[in-house]
Amino acid sequence: MNYMYIVECADGTLYCGWTNNLEKRIDDHNAGKGAKYTKPRLPVKLVYFETFDTKEEAMSREWHIKQLPRKKKLELVSKGKENIDIS
């Protein structure tokens, strides 16, 4: 299983990524490892995720989500993927 996820850092920053091990990835974020776009040692909380069968699907969705302005990302988090047009 592959996941596209959005986490929120303690300072309110949203970060989007993909992984095949969601629990480990969240632990890595909280340990300040990995993703260059997250601020190290700021705890994150998982605010949104989707599952995909292939890594390519998850990566594609991640790319589309990263193109959204913050306001649209917040709508996605609050309303769920069914109610948001990301095109």
pLDDT digits (tens, 9 = 90+) for 39-76: 556 788 888 899 999 999 999 999 999 998 988 888 88
CA distance 12 to 20: 25
| Residue 31 domain-assigned (yes or no) | yes
pTM for this prediction: 0.77
The per-residue pLDDT for 38 is 53
- Tell whether 87 is covered by a domain: no
Task: Please say if the pLDDT value at position 82 is more than 80.
Answer: no
List Cβ neighbours of 21 (8 Å cut-off, separation of 6 or more). none
Instruction: Assess if residue 37 is contained within a domain.
Output: yes
Q: Which residue has the higher pLDDT, 63 or 38?
A: 63
Domain that holds residue 33: 2-82
Q: Taking 70 as the threshold, does the pLDDT of residue 84 lie above it?
A: no
User: Which two structure tokens, joined as six digits, stand for 24?
Assistant: 């480990």
CATH code: domain of residue 43: 3.40.1440.10
